[in-house]
Homo-oligomer: A and B are copies of this chain.
Amino acid sequence: MPEPASSIAERNGGAAPIPEPPPTERPPAWPHRHLLDTDVLTWPQIELVLDTAAVMAEIVARQRPRSEALRGVGVTNLFYEASTRTRVSFEVAAKHLSADVVNVSVSGSSIEKGESLLDTVRTLESLGARVLVMRHPTSGAPYLAAREFRGAVVNAGDGRHAHPTQALLDLYTLRRHVPGGSLRGRKVVILGDVLHSRVARSNLWTLTAAGADVWVCGPATLLRGFDAWATTGVAGERRFTVTGDIDAALRDADAVMALRLQQERMAAGLLPSLHEYSARYGLTAERLRLASEGCLVMHPGPMNEGVEIAADVAAGPRSVVTQQVANGVAIRMAILSLVTSVSLRGEA
Protein backbone atom coordinates (compact mmCIF):
# COMPACT_ATOMS: atom_id res chain seq x y z
CA MET A 1 0.00 0.00 0.00
CA PRO A 2 1.47 3.37 -0.96
CA GLU A 3 2.34 5.86 1.75
CA PRO A 4 0.05 8.85 1.91
CA ALA A 5 1.37 11.79 -0.02
CA SER A 6 1.60 13.93 3.08
CA SER A 7 4.16 11.69 4.78
CA ILE A 8 6.19 11.65 1.58
CA ALA A 9 6.09 15.42 1.46
CA GLU A 10 7.25 15.62 5.05
CA ARG A 11 10.15 13.28 4.39
CA ASN A 12 11.17 15.57 1.59
CA GLY A 13 11.41 18.52 3.88
CA GLY A 14 7.76 19.42 3.94
CA ALA A 15 7.55 20.48 0.32
CA ALA A 16 3.99 20.65 -0.92
CA PRO A 17 2.94 18.29 -3.68
CA ILE A 18 3.11 19.78 -7.13
CA PRO A 19 -0.33 20.94 -8.23
CA GLU A 20 -1.71 19.39 -11.40
CA PRO A 21 -1.21 21.97 -14.15
CA PRO A 22 -4.37 23.75 -15.31
CA PRO A 23 -5.82 22.48 -18.59
CA THR A 24 -4.39 24.37 -21.54
CA GLU A 25 -6.93 25.52 -24.06
CA ARG A 26 -4.69 25.23 -27.09
CA PRO A 27 -1.31 23.55 -27.40
CA PRO A 28 1.51 25.77 -26.11
CA ALA A 29 4.09 26.78 -28.67
CA TRP A 30 7.35 24.84 -28.46
CA PRO A 31 10.16 27.34 -27.85
CA HIS A 32 13.28 25.14 -27.82
CA ARG A 33 15.55 25.05 -30.85
CA HIS A 34 17.69 22.35 -29.19
CA LEU A 35 16.90 19.53 -26.78
CA LEU A 36 19.91 19.25 -24.52
CA ASP A 37 18.29 18.12 -21.29
CA THR A 38 14.89 17.87 -19.67
CA ASP A 39 15.57 20.52 -17.03
CA VAL A 40 14.48 23.40 -19.26
CA LEU A 41 11.11 21.83 -20.02
CA THR A 42 8.04 23.20 -18.27
CA TRP A 43 5.26 20.77 -17.53
CA PRO A 44 3.09 22.01 -20.43
CA GLN A 45 6.07 21.53 -22.75
CA ILE A 46 6.58 17.99 -21.46
CA GLU A 47 2.91 17.32 -22.09
CA LEU A 48 3.25 18.72 -25.59
CA VAL A 49 6.03 16.22 -26.28
CA LEU A 50 3.94 13.36 -24.92
CA ASP A 51 0.85 14.38 -26.86
CA THR A 52 2.85 14.78 -30.07
CA ALA A 53 4.39 11.36 -29.47
CA ALA A 54 0.93 9.85 -29.13
CA VAL A 55 0.10 11.13 -32.61
CA MET A 56 3.41 9.82 -33.92
CA ALA A 57 2.70 6.42 -32.32
CA GLU A 58 -0.34 6.11 -34.57
CA ILE A 59 1.90 6.58 -37.59
CA VAL A 60 4.39 4.03 -36.25
CA ALA A 61 1.58 1.50 -35.73
CA ARG A 62 0.76 1.48 -39.44
CA GLN A 63 2.16 -1.40 -41.40
CA ARG A 64 4.08 1.04 -43.58
CA PRO A 65 4.78 4.03 -41.36
CA ARG A 66 5.54 7.22 -43.24
CA SER A 67 4.92 10.90 -42.75
CA GLU A 68 6.13 13.65 -45.06
CA ALA A 69 6.79 16.08 -42.21
CA LEU A 70 10.57 16.30 -42.58
CA ARG A 71 10.84 15.45 -46.29
CA GLY A 72 14.33 16.36 -47.49
CA VAL A 73 15.51 17.69 -44.10
CA GLY A 74 19.04 16.58 -43.25
CA VAL A 75 19.32 14.69 -39.96
CA THR A 76 22.84 13.61 -38.95
CA ASN A 77 23.50 11.08 -36.21
CA LEU A 78 26.92 11.92 -34.76
CA PHE A 79 27.85 9.14 -32.35
CA TYR A 80 31.12 9.23 -30.42
CA GLU A 81 30.05 6.17 -28.42
CA ALA A 82 28.81 2.75 -29.50
CA SER A 83 25.03 2.44 -29.55
CA THR A 84 22.49 0.21 -31.23
CA ARG A 85 19.16 1.16 -29.82
CA THR A 86 19.54 4.91 -29.61
CA ARG A 87 21.18 5.36 -33.00
CA VAL A 88 18.71 3.05 -34.75
CA SER A 89 15.79 4.63 -32.88
CA PHE A 90 16.70 8.10 -34.12
CA GLU A 91 17.43 6.75 -37.60
CA VAL A 92 14.07 5.01 -37.82
CA ALA A 93 12.25 8.02 -36.37
CA ALA A 94 13.86 10.35 -38.91
CA LYS A 95 13.09 8.00 -41.80
CA HIS A 96 9.45 7.68 -40.72
CA LEU A 97 9.32 11.46 -41.13
CA SER A 98 11.00 11.20 -44.58
CA ALA A 99 14.12 13.03 -43.44
CA ASP A 100 17.49 12.37 -45.11
CA VAL A 101 19.59 10.56 -42.53
CA VAL A 102 23.38 10.42 -42.41
CA ASN A 103 25.17 8.28 -39.81
CA VAL A 104 28.61 9.32 -38.59
CA SER A 105 30.34 7.17 -35.98
CA VAL A 106 33.76 7.55 -34.49
CA SER A 107 35.12 4.40 -36.04
CA GLY A 108 35.84 5.11 -39.68
CA SER A 109 35.62 8.89 -39.43
CA SER A 110 38.01 11.79 -39.53
CA ILE A 111 37.29 12.30 -35.87
CA GLU A 112 39.99 9.70 -35.38
CA LYS A 113 42.34 12.15 -37.05
CA GLY A 114 41.86 14.53 -34.13
CA GLU A 115 39.48 17.03 -35.68
CA SER A 116 37.99 19.25 -33.01
CA LEU A 117 34.36 18.82 -32.07
CA LEU A 118 33.47 22.33 -33.23
CA ASP A 119 35.18 21.81 -36.55
CA THR A 120 33.21 18.59 -37.00
CA VAL A 121 29.96 20.37 -36.15
CA ARG A 122 30.66 23.19 -38.61
CA THR A 123 31.56 20.63 -41.26
CA LEU A 124 28.38 18.60 -40.80
CA GLU A 125 26.31 21.77 -40.92
CA SER A 126 28.02 22.79 -44.15
CA LEU A 127 27.26 19.33 -45.50
CA GLY A 128 23.56 19.96 -44.99
CA ALA A 129 22.72 18.78 -41.47
CA ARG A 130 19.71 20.66 -40.11
CA VAL A 131 19.35 18.44 -37.03
CA LEU A 132 22.39 17.07 -35.23
CA VAL A 133 21.64 14.08 -33.03
CA MET A 134 24.69 13.71 -30.87
CA ARG A 135 26.08 11.21 -28.41
CA HIS A 136 29.35 12.02 -26.71
CA PRO A 137 31.31 10.58 -23.75
CA THR A 138 31.97 14.07 -22.37
CA SER A 139 29.28 15.70 -20.26
CA GLY A 140 28.28 19.00 -21.80
CA ALA A 141 29.61 18.34 -25.30
CA PRO A 142 26.19 18.90 -26.94
CA TYR A 143 25.98 22.32 -25.25
CA LEU A 144 29.23 23.27 -26.91
CA ALA A 145 27.93 21.99 -30.23
CA ALA A 146 24.68 23.92 -29.83
CA ARG A 147 26.56 27.19 -29.44
CA GLU A 148 28.04 26.67 -32.90
CA PHE A 149 25.43 24.72 -34.85
CA ARG A 150 22.81 26.84 -36.55
CA GLY A 151 20.25 24.04 -36.81
CA ALA A 152 18.88 21.97 -33.92
CA VAL A 153 21.02 19.84 -31.60
CA VAL A 154 19.39 16.86 -29.91
CA ASN A 155 21.35 15.28 -27.08
CA ALA A 156 21.35 11.50 -27.44
CA GLY A 157 23.40 11.07 -24.27
CA ASP A 158 26.41 13.01 -23.01
CA GLY A 159 28.76 11.46 -20.47
CA ARG A 160 27.12 11.16 -17.07
CA HIS A 161 25.03 14.20 -17.68
CA ALA A 162 21.79 13.87 -19.61
CA HIS A 163 19.76 11.67 -21.93
CA PRO A 164 16.58 13.66 -22.41
CA THR A 165 14.79 11.54 -25.02
CA GLN A 166 15.25 8.49 -22.78
CA ALA A 167 13.61 10.32 -19.88
CA LEU A 168 10.74 11.41 -22.11
CA LEU A 169 10.13 7.92 -23.45
CA ASP A 170 10.25 6.57 -19.91
CA LEU A 171 7.63 9.07 -18.81
CA TYR A 172 5.50 8.31 -21.87
CA THR A 173 5.72 4.58 -21.13
CA LEU A 174 4.89 5.04 -17.45
CA ARG A 175 1.84 7.16 -18.22
CA ARG A 176 0.51 4.61 -20.69
CA HIS A 177 0.85 1.73 -18.21
CA VAL A 178 0.07 3.26 -14.83
CA PRO A 179 -3.62 2.92 -14.01
CA GLY A 180 -5.32 6.26 -14.55
CA GLY A 181 -2.43 7.58 -16.63
CA SER A 182 -1.07 10.00 -14.03
CA LEU A 183 2.12 9.71 -11.99
CA ARG A 184 0.92 12.07 -9.25
CA GLY A 185 1.83 10.45 -5.93
CA ARG A 186 3.11 7.27 -7.62
CA LYS A 187 6.27 5.79 -6.17
CA VAL A 188 8.92 5.35 -8.85
CA VAL A 189 12.28 3.79 -7.95
CA ILE A 190 15.51 4.37 -9.85
CA LEU A 191 17.80 1.52 -8.88
CA GLY A 192 21.53 1.08 -9.31
CA ASP A 193 24.45 3.12 -10.54
CA VAL A 194 22.80 6.51 -10.22
CA LEU A 195 26.10 8.32 -9.90
CA HIS A 196 27.16 7.59 -13.47
CA SER A 197 23.73 7.57 -15.07
CA ARG A 198 22.63 10.25 -17.48
CA VAL A 199 19.37 8.34 -17.70
CA ALA A 200 18.76 8.82 -13.98
CA ARG A 201 19.63 12.52 -14.09
CA SER A 202 17.26 13.35 -16.92
CA ASN A 203 14.53 11.17 -15.41
CA LEU A 204 14.71 12.87 -12.03
CA TRP A 205 13.56 16.07 -13.58
CA THR A 206 10.65 14.78 -15.66
CA LEU A 207 9.41 12.27 -13.06
CA THR A 208 9.32 14.83 -10.27
CA ALA A 209 7.74 17.33 -12.66
CA ALA A 210 5.03 14.74 -13.30
CA GLY A 211 4.36 14.64 -9.55
CA ALA A 212 5.91 11.22 -8.91
CA ASP A 213 7.44 10.32 -5.57
CA VAL A 214 10.93 9.43 -6.81
CA TRP A 215 13.21 7.14 -4.85
CA VAL A 216 16.83 6.75 -5.81
CA CYS A 217 18.47 3.59 -4.49
CA GLY A 218 21.92 2.00 -4.78
CA PRO A 219 25.16 1.36 -2.91
CA ALA A 220 26.50 4.45 -1.13
CA THR A 221 29.50 4.69 -3.48
CA LEU A 222 27.12 5.06 -6.42
CA LEU A 223 24.91 7.67 -4.78
CA ARG A 224 27.56 10.21 -3.80
CA GLY A 225 26.25 13.74 -4.02
CA PHE A 226 22.62 12.80 -4.46
CA ASP A 227 22.02 12.58 -0.76
CA ALA A 228 23.17 16.15 -0.28
CA TRP A 229 21.14 17.17 -3.29
CA ALA A 230 17.99 15.75 -1.75
CA THR A 231 18.49 17.08 1.77
CA THR A 232 19.61 20.54 0.74
CA GLY A 233 16.50 20.90 -1.35
CA VAL A 234 18.22 21.23 -4.70
CA ALA A 235 15.21 19.49 -6.13
CA GLY A 236 13.01 22.29 -4.82
CA GLU A 237 9.44 21.31 -4.04
CA ARG A 238 9.84 18.03 -5.87
CA ARG A 239 9.54 14.72 -4.01
CA PHE A 240 12.84 12.97 -3.98
CA THR A 241 14.27 10.35 -1.58
CA VAL A 242 17.76 8.86 -1.56
CA THR A 243 18.47 5.55 0.16
CA GLY A 244 20.78 2.55 0.23
CA ASP A 245 17.98 0.36 1.58
CA ILE A 246 16.55 -1.55 -1.35
CA ASP A 247 13.68 -3.02 0.68
CA ALA A 248 12.52 0.43 1.73
CA ALA A 249 12.82 1.64 -1.84
CA LEU A 250 10.88 -1.22 -3.40
CA ARG A 251 8.14 -1.37 -0.78
CA ASP A 252 4.83 -0.49 -2.46
CA ALA A 253 6.62 0.89 -5.51
CA ASP A 254 4.51 1.51 -8.59
CA ALA A 255 7.46 1.30 -10.97
CA VAL A 256 11.11 0.42 -10.74
CA MET A 257 13.73 1.38 -13.25
CA ALA A 258 16.90 -0.72 -13.07
CA LEU A 259 19.98 1.00 -14.42
CA ARG A 260 22.75 -0.66 -16.38
CA LEU A 261 25.82 -1.42 -14.29
CA GLN A 262 28.95 -0.52 -16.21
CA GLN A 263 31.66 -3.13 -15.77
CA GLU A 264 34.20 -0.31 -15.52
CA ARG A 265 32.87 0.57 -12.06
CA MET A 266 34.56 -2.52 -10.63
CA ALA A 267 37.92 -1.52 -12.01
CA ALA A 268 37.47 1.91 -10.45
CA GLY A 269 37.09 0.33 -7.01
CA LEU A 270 33.54 1.57 -6.53
CA LEU A 271 32.14 -1.93 -6.16
CA PRO A 272 33.66 -5.10 -4.70
CA SER A 273 32.34 -7.52 -7.34
CA LEU A 274 29.53 -8.04 -9.81
CA HIS A 275 28.37 -10.97 -7.76
CA GLU A 276 28.03 -8.92 -4.60
CA TYR A 277 26.33 -6.08 -6.43
CA SER A 278 23.86 -8.50 -7.95
CA ALA A 279 23.19 -10.15 -4.57
CA ARG A 280 22.55 -6.85 -2.82
CA TYR A 281 20.96 -4.67 -5.49
CA GLY A 282 19.88 -6.92 -8.36
CA LEU A 283 16.18 -6.69 -9.21
CA THR A 284 14.89 -10.22 -8.61
CA ALA A 285 11.41 -11.70 -8.60
CA GLU A 286 11.67 -12.16 -4.85
CA ARG A 287 12.50 -8.52 -4.21
CA LEU A 288 9.80 -7.40 -6.59
CA ARG A 289 7.22 -8.95 -4.25
CA LEU A 290 7.78 -5.99 -1.95
CA ALA A 291 6.43 -3.67 -4.60
CA SER A 292 2.79 -2.99 -5.37
CA GLU A 293 1.01 -5.68 -7.31
CA GLY A 294 1.10 -4.08 -10.72
CA CYS A 295 4.58 -2.57 -10.30
CA LEU A 296 6.11 -1.83 -13.69
CA VAL A 297 9.65 -3.00 -14.45
CA MET A 298 11.75 -0.77 -16.68
CA HIS A 299 15.31 -0.69 -17.99
CA PRO A 300 16.89 1.73 -20.46
CA GLY A 301 18.94 -1.09 -22.01
CA PRO A 302 21.15 -2.71 -22.90
CA MET A 303 20.56 -5.04 -19.96
CA ASN A 304 23.14 -7.09 -18.10
CA GLU A 305 20.73 -9.89 -17.31
CA GLY A 306 21.72 -11.58 -14.04
CA VAL A 307 23.51 -8.47 -12.81
CA GLU A 308 21.25 -5.47 -12.24
CA ILE A 309 18.13 -7.37 -13.31
CA ALA A 310 17.21 -11.06 -13.30
CA ALA A 311 16.38 -12.54 -16.69
CA ASP A 312 12.92 -13.70 -15.54
CA VAL A 313 12.09 -10.21 -14.30
CA ALA A 314 13.34 -8.57 -17.51
CA ALA A 315 11.10 -10.82 -19.60
CA GLY A 316 8.33 -11.13 -17.02
CA PRO A 317 4.73 -9.92 -17.14
CA ARG A 318 5.47 -6.63 -15.37
CA SER A 319 8.28 -5.70 -17.74
CA VAL A 320 7.64 -2.84 -20.15
CA VAL A 321 11.20 -2.87 -21.49
CA THR A 322 10.23 -3.58 -25.10
CA GLN A 323 7.46 -0.98 -24.88
CA GLN A 324 10.09 1.54 -23.81
CA VAL A 325 12.04 0.79 -26.98
CA ALA A 326 8.98 1.02 -29.20
CA ASN A 327 7.82 4.25 -27.56
CA GLY A 328 11.29 5.70 -28.08
CA VAL A 329 10.66 5.90 -31.82
CA ALA A 330 7.47 7.93 -31.30
CA ILE A 331 9.16 10.23 -28.76
CA ARG A 332 12.07 10.87 -31.12
CA MET A 333 9.70 11.59 -34.00
CA ALA A 334 7.97 14.11 -31.71
CA ILE A 335 11.26 15.74 -30.71
CA LEU A 336 12.59 15.90 -34.27
CA SER A 337 9.33 17.45 -35.34
CA LEU A 338 9.20 19.98 -32.49
CA VAL A 339 12.79 21.20 -32.65
CA THR A 340 12.70 21.63 -36.42
CA SER A 341 9.48 23.62 -36.07
CA VAL A 342 11.74 26.19 -34.38
CA SER A 343 15.04 25.74 -36.20
CA LEU A 344 13.59 25.70 -39.73
CA ARG A 345 11.19 28.58 -39.06
CA GLY A 346 13.50 31.28 -40.36
CA GLU A 347 14.50 29.32 -43.42
CA ALA A 348 11.09 28.60 -44.91
Contacts and interface: CB of A to CB of B under 8 A. Distances in A.
Interface in A47-77: 60, 62-66, 71-74, 76
A85 to B, nearest CB: 5
Contacts of A7: none
Interface string A104-131: 1111111111111001101111111000
Most buried by B among A71, A88, A314: A88
A319 to B, nearest CB: 10
Nearest to A263: B114
Contacts of A302: 110, 113-115, 119-120, 123
A92 B128 contact: yes
Interface string A87-113: 011011001100010101111111111
Contacts of A116: 303, 305
A264 to B, nearest CB: 11
Interface in A141-163: none
A199 to B, nearest CB: 14
A75 B100 CA distance: 16
A71 B100 CA distance: 15
A112 B26 CA distance: 46
Contacts of A240: none
A34 to B, nearest CB: 19
A25 interface: no
A185 to B, nearest CB: 29
Interface string A287-319: 000000000000001111100000000100000
Interface of chain A, helix or strand or loop or mixed?
Answer: mixed
B110 A326 contact: no
A113 B260 CA distance: 10
A16 B82 CA distance: 56
A309 to B, nearest CB: 11
Contacts of A84: 104, 109-111, 115, 120, 123-124
A15 interface: no
Interface residues of A, number: 64
Nearest to A91: B102
Contacts of A263: 114
A197 to B, nearest CB: 14
Contact of A128 (B112, B329, B344): B329
Given A107-B107, A122-B322, A304 B92 contact: no
A187 to B, nearest CB: 26
Contacts of A314: 119
A83 interface: yes
A267 interface: no
A95 B100 contact: yes
B64 A83 contact: no
A215 interface: no
Given A85-B110, A113-B302, 6 more contacts: A82-B112, A84-B109, A88-B124, A89-B127, A92-B128, A115-B302
17 contacts: A74-B92, A83-B109, A84-B115, A84-B124, A85-B123, A85-B127, A88-B102, A106-B108, A107-B108, A110-B301, A114-B302, A119-B303, A122-B325, A123-B322, A125-B322, A126-B323, A127-B329
